[in-house]
A and B are shown apart, each in its own frame.
Chain A
Amino acid sequence: MTAPFLPLLADATPGGSLGVLFVNPLPFPSGARLWMLLPLLLCVATVYRACRARHVRELPLATVLTFLNILVGMLLIAAGFYVLHLLVLKFL
């Protein structure tokens, strides 16, 4: 069952074929972790809006608005928790 994939592994070297891309994990800078939120949010906003779209031309503006809504909402939640954290440190 798994035999077709074995030749692909035979020359598994970093930077090789598409198969190798999923065999050897890409190097990931730890500072990029928070920034990875943005493309994922864009995908979530796109799918959410596409489910409600009758035509693709409705999508760009609606997707950008949903993206900003989610982003601002998450920033506010983060800020709220940060303030809560500061209050706990100060009063408890």
Chain B
Amino acid sequence: MPQQEPSTWRLVQVGLWAWLIPGAGHYALGHKALAAVFWAAVTLPYATGLAIGGAKNFVSPTANRWLFVAELPIGGYTVPAYLLSRSLDHHLEARRQRGEAVDLTEYVAYFPAADVAQIYLATAGLLNILAILDALSRAQYGEPTFHRDRRPTPEEPPPA
């Protein structure tokens, strides 16, 4: 258990950091090495999925609503990617209005790349939920406690 009960504001801060950037919540708590691990393990699948799928349809609440919901747990990545997606929509619409032919395959991945991109992006978002919950748990209760730690030692009689 930590020495002092953390304030609600501190928990909100840690949660917000963890939501913005994977691992940032752990960094704020002083777990710098764990923060780097979380950052790498969540950023890698997110960046890979976005690179394979492209931002246009893969971070878009209109083109793929449920995927967008799964990506929302990483706010610091999803919000800029969503803005990029909107920019692309406007850009392509402007090109269409000028009478230019627009080849969507330049901007959108199709099967099988689309499947892989979707799985990677959704998994990254869901992994960051675990990272956020872990950061909040460490902020409130300290280090994880294992069942083996709670077993009575031979000298210590079991509680009645």
> Which residues from chain A sit less than 8 Å from chain B, CB to CB?
1-2, 4-6, 8-9, 19, 21-26, 28, 30, 33, 36, 39-40, 43-44, 46-48, 50-54, 56, 59
Q: Closest A residue to B55 by CB, please name it.
A: A22
Q: Are A54 and B112 in contact (CB under 8 A)?
A: no
Q: Closest A residue to B127 by CB, please name it.
A: A47
A1-B86, A56-B33 given; 19 more Cβ-contact pairs under 8 Å = A1-B83, A22-B54, A22-B84, A23-B54, A28-B52, A28-B116, A33-B112, A39-B48, A40-B45, A40-B120, A40-B123, A43-B44, A44-B123, A46-B40, A47-B38, A47-B42, A51-B130, A51-B144, A52-B146
Q: A26 CA to B146 CA in the complex, in Å?
A: 43
Q: A50 CA to B117 CA in the complex, in Å?
A: 24
Q: A21 CA to B51 CA in the complex, in Å?
A: 6
A–B pairs, 18, beta carbons within 8 Å: A1-B83, A2-B86, A2-B90, A22-B55, A25-B53, A26-B51, A28-B113, A28-B116, A33-B115, A40-B120, A43-B42, A43-B44, A44-B123, A47-B131, A48-B130, A50-B34, A51-B131, A52-B146
Q: Are B51 and A25 in contact (CB under 8 A)?
A: yes
Q: A24 CA to B90 CA in the complex, in Å?
A: 16
Q: A57 CA to B20 CA in the complex, in Å?
A: 26
Q: A33 CA to B143 CA in the complex, in Å?
A: 38
Residues of chain B with a CB closer than 8 A to A56's CB: 33-34, 37
Residues of chain B with a CB closer than 8 A to A28's CB: 52, 109, 112-113, 116
Q: A44 CA to B106 CA in the complex, in Å?
A: 30
Q: Are B87 and A9 in contact (CB under 8 A)?
A: yes
Q: Closest B residue to A21 by CB, please name it.
A: B51
Q: Are B87 and A39 in contact (CB under 8 A)?
A: no
Q: Are B109 and A50 in contact (CB under 8 A)?
A: no
